[in-house]
Structure 1
Amino acid sequence: MNELSQSLKKMKIKGDKESILQFLREVMRLLPPSDDFGITITKKGVHEYVLDRQGIVVISLSEDEFLPYFSANHKRIDIDKVPDDVLKEVKEKWKEILDQLRDYAIEYSKLDKKFLKVADEVNGVIFENL
């Protein structure tokens, strides 16, 4: 958990692309081992950027012109290819990202009790950096 805290502090001080990417990598490392969890980083128009254990997924939603249905497409992008404006939002929304990580760890702890400790430590990182 020390790595998460250090990467967060570095990101808040430097705010450069590399420090933000390192923070995202630390968050990825702590996500529960399930495809059911993805942290919403931001929404830009019809695109939603989601961080999961494998990296970044861009989900594009569109409403059908003639039917009242939404359709979604997704595309996986390399974490190094995340647009700069999205990375800027990571720096601003770090608490929301860690809140989601903590909540997922609590939820997954029903299957694996060690994730209660992860949730507690993420909470500590949040309070330490407010």
Structure 2
Amino acid sequence: MLYSDKAPDPVGLYPHARRVGNLLFLSGVGPRKKGSKDIPGVTLDNHGNIIAYDIEQQCHAVFENVRFILEASGARWENLVDVTVYLTNMKADFATFNKIYATYFKENQPCRTTVEVNALPTPIAIELKCIAAFEDK
């Protein structure tokens, strides 16, 4: 089981990542920041409900967290081979997400699936599930 000291703590009993053979499986990664309850680009009401959010800020934050976990696990961004994207509002956020995604994956283009979900475990609008492959030596 692998953990990053820069990525936010998991919200349950699971590691940031787990290596099996030459594959690295990342648990779901959101945009939260390590050591803070604040979520980049999210405004909550007094009951913890989302009032407003900025999908651009969340996209950049989630990609940063993925990078932290990859690096802590001995992998690189270029090792990503599969990305599953969970968005809570496909209609409003997909075009923006897709534009930002393209800037991060100009060279390496992993397989990708994007789905809309009703909610995520914390008040976030995006979560990524990633698989990386270590190069054979």
TM-score between both structures, scaled by the size of structure 1: 0.27
* Structure number, greater radius of gyration: 1
Q: TM-score of the superposition, structure 2-length normalised?
A: 0.27
Q: Relative to total residues, which structure has the larger strand share, 1 or 2?
A: 2
Indicate the structure with greater helix content. Answer: 1
